[in-house]
Chains A and B, each alone.
Chain A
Amino acid sequence: MDLNYISGILTLAGINLMAVLGLSLLTGFTGMFSFGHAGFMAIGGYTSAMMTVKFGLPFIPALLIGGLAASLVSSVIGRLTLKLKGDYFCIATLGFGEAIRLIFDNVQYFGGARGWPGIPHYTNIFNVIILNIIAIVILANLVRSKHGRNMIAVREEELASQIVGINVFKHKLISLMISAAYAGVAGGLMAHYMTFLAPKMFSLVKSTELTIIVIFGGLGSISGSVLGALVLTSLPEILRAFADWRLVIYGLSVVIIMITRPSGLMGGYEFTPSSMKKLITRIKNRNKDLPNQMEGGKTV
């Protein structure tokens, strides 16, 4: 395999992972389902590209501003729609994602539907990996903090958490804003990897893809999201030689995984040193028929 090709796929997997990490917080840890994250990626992408191209800012500040912009927009959207439940919230985010795309299609300042070429090529495999590690550390600390535990409580028993005094709306909003910021940074990385932005790149299909990765990796598991992003970004590439059939196989695998292992690859489980130890003991003691620690308790 050619190194350049592999690093290209890995960079893309890393960009997807950045967005997936954010979505993982929203869907996996707070229990809300978004169809509009490509919209946040678009906002982040266009904003950060504007910063580097039109204002000559360096790459990292531009990325952060992109993330911030996505986060700000999400706070407005959140205030309007977070009271909605289940499918209704879904459809509101879907509407948001499509609306953002339509706006960028019409805004000629950014090239409209014709796209915006000539964005500097800053994103590479190294800064993607470093940024992802930082993002994972932040996220891991967040979910273990008080806020994180409250979010999980909201996911598990919204009504009960409300009764014990957790401000459900506030935690949902924080979760949405952080998740949008991640998506915004991912969008910025995408812009400076492709060196080209077009609203087409942020379609509903992209949003769906991100959600599928989160579920595939396992709700409430950061390592699951990492694994999911790596596997599902490279899967279509691996399947490329199958031409027409690759998306058929992709769709089928999603269904099979849902029905055979609905908690995803990792299902609330994390790769940490202590969990590894447990896993090894479990494999050793397999014949003694110990209770299943891996699946225990944490099914969503």
Chain B
Amino acid sequence: MTQFLQQLINGLSIGSVYALMAVGYSLVYSIMNFSNFAHGGVIMLGAYFGYYYLTGAGLPFPVAFIGAALTTCLLAVIIERGAYKPLRERKAPFLYFIISAMGTSIFLENMVIATIGPTFRTYPEVLSRTPIQIGSVSIGRLDLAMFIISAVCLALLVFFIDHTKMGKAIQATAYNIKASALMGINTDLVIIIVFALGGFFAGIAGVLFGMKYTVYPQIGIITNKSFIAAVFGGLGSLPGAVIGSILLGVIETITAGYFSSQYRDLIAFVLLVVVLIFRPRGLMGKVTEDKA
């Protein structure tokens, strides 16, 4: 029983890391209908920015944290302007967006290797590593903090989307971009805002990831997992991204803990395919019109 509880906590903690990353994929997908693979690169840079603000510039942690998120915010918008806007103007099919996103992601990762170098960086200890013990179950302080930060950020995001004018505009654009433009919504601005939000979350995810694990150029391998989580939950849906991530985290943990750690990813993938067979749009994915 203790082990099961411990594994559940492990799973929730892994899932909340995925969730923070998956939200960025889903936000962009909801508007643009493509998977922004450059998001992983932005998360990685977020981790580096946070590290350098903290150790290089010697800023206090909250300032470095917000600073990193704002920097990636800007970066995501720059990527949108550079790599996607020209495609948008040509009305290119989604394949081109994906390839452009992949090119960007290869570029960002190797840019970091070429300039900063491949060595791992370790965040200074902001929170104590000693876990909180409840019985024989241990909960990491950082895990708890991450869980709370994720929840607060996601709540703010939901509030923003549901209760502000810009949020409504995002919803309308996600529903139908052409009609929204006709209704007088500045869809270009909406897209910028969405990328900025995605970038902000990438920064937060990057810094938290870096604190918990380490900072290195190949973080993208993990962000792929969070992308899978986003698909699992249903692309374009924020609650879907969160639920998908938590589920994937827990399923992975239970598989590794009780079945086979050798075949863990295999089982996770099979489950994903099974879900997609019965629910082709993921658990709660956005329904897009076919060739409308």
- Taking Cβ atoms with an 8 Å cutoff, the residues of A that contact B are 27, 33, 80-81, 83-88, 90-92, 94-96, 98-99, 102-103, 106, 157-160, 204, 208, 211-212, 215, 219, 244-245, 247-248, 250-255, 258-260, 262, 300
Q: Is the CB of A96 within 8 A of B100?
A: no
> Which residues of A are found within 8 Å of B106, using beta-carbon distances?
247, 250-251, 254
> Which residues of A are found within 8 Å of B102, using beta-carbon distances?
208, 212, 254
The contact of B83 among A27, A96, A219, A255, by CB within 8 Å, is A255
> Which residues of B are found within 8 Å of A212, using beta-carbon distances?
99, 102-103
**Known: A85-B280, A247-B106, A251-B103. Contact between A99 and B269, CB under 8 A?**
yes
- Which of B90-98, B141-149, B152-160, B196-204 lies at the interface with chain A? B90-98
The distance from the CB of B115 to the nearest CB of chain A, in whole angstroms, is 9
Q: Is the CB of B103 within 8 A of A255?
A: yes
Q: Is the CB of B95 within 8 A of A99?
A: no
Give residues of chain B (58-75) contacting chain A, Cβ–Cβ below 8 Å: none
Q: Is the CB of A259 within 8 A of B269?
A: no
> Which residues of A are found within 8 Å of B288, using beta-carbon distances?
85
The distance from the CB of B92 to the nearest CB of chain A, in whole angstroms, is 5
CA distance A157 to B272 in the complex (A): 28
The contact of B280 among A88, A248, A250, A300, by CB within 8 Å, is A88
Q: Is B255 part of the binding interface, using a Cβ–Cβ cutoff of 8 Å?
A: no
Give residues of chain B (184-225) contacting chain A, Cβ–Cβ below 8 Å: 224
Q: Is the interface of A mostly helix, strand, loop or mixed?
A: helix
- Which of B42-50, B130-138, B259-267 lies at the interface with chain A? B259-267
CA distance A102 to B255 in the complex (A): 15
The residue among A85, A99, A208, A211 with the most chain B CB atoms within 10 A of its own CB is: A99
Q: Is the interface of B mostly helix, strand, loop or mixed?
A: helix
CA distance A160 to B290 in the complex (A): 11
Q: Is the CB of A258 within 8 A of B87?
A: yes
**Known: A84-B280, A106-B262, A258-B103. Contact between A215 and B227, CB under 8 A?**
no
The distance from the CB of B220 to the nearest CB of chain A, in whole angstroms, is 10
> Which residues of B are found within 8 Å of A96, using beta-carbon distances?
269, 273
Q: Is the CB of B272 within 8 A of A259?
A: no
The residue among B110, B228, B281 with the most chain A CB atoms within 10 A of its own CB is: B110
> Which residues of B are found within 8 Å of A204, using beta-carbon distances?
224
Q: Chain B, interface size: which category?
A: 35 or more
**Known: A251-B105, A258-B87. Contact between A244 and B290, CB under 8 A?**
no
Q: Is the CB of A262 within 8 A of B280?
A: no
Q: Is the CB of B95 within 8 A of A27?
A: yes
Q: Is the CB of A215 within 8 A of B231?
A: no
Q: Is the CB of B263 within 8 A of A102?
A: yes
The distance from the CB of A179 to the nearest CB of chain B, in whole angstroms, is 15
Closest to A211 in B: B99
> Which residues of A are found within 8 Å of B99, using beta-carbon distances?
211-212, 215, 254, 258
> Which residues of A are found within 8 Å of B277, using beta-carbon distances?
80-81, 83
> Which residues of A are found within 8 Å of B282, using beta-carbon distances?
88
The distance from the CB of A218 to the nearest CB of chain B, in whole angstroms, is 12
Give residues of chain B (241-292) contacting chain A, Cβ–Cβ below 8 Å: 262-263, 265-266, 269-270, 272-273, 276-277, 280-282, 285, 288, 290-291
Given contacts A85-B290, A248-B110, A258-B96, 14 further A-B contacts (CB under 8 A): A27-B95, A80-B277, A81-B277, A85-B280, A94-B228, A95-B273, A96-B269, A99-B269, A103-B266, A251-B105, A255-B82, A255-B107, A260-B86, A262-B96
Q: Is the CB of B110 within 8 A of A215?
A: no
Interface pairs A-B: 8 shortest CB-CB: A251-B107, A254-B103, A251-B106, A95-B269, A247-B110, A255-B103, A244-B114, A259-B86
Closest to A156 in B: B291
**Known: A248-B107, A262-B87. Contact between A95 and B96, CB under 8 A?**
no
Closest to A27 in B: B95
The distance from the CB of B137 to the nearest CB of chain A, in whole angstroms, is 30
CA distance A215 to B270 in the complex (A): 29
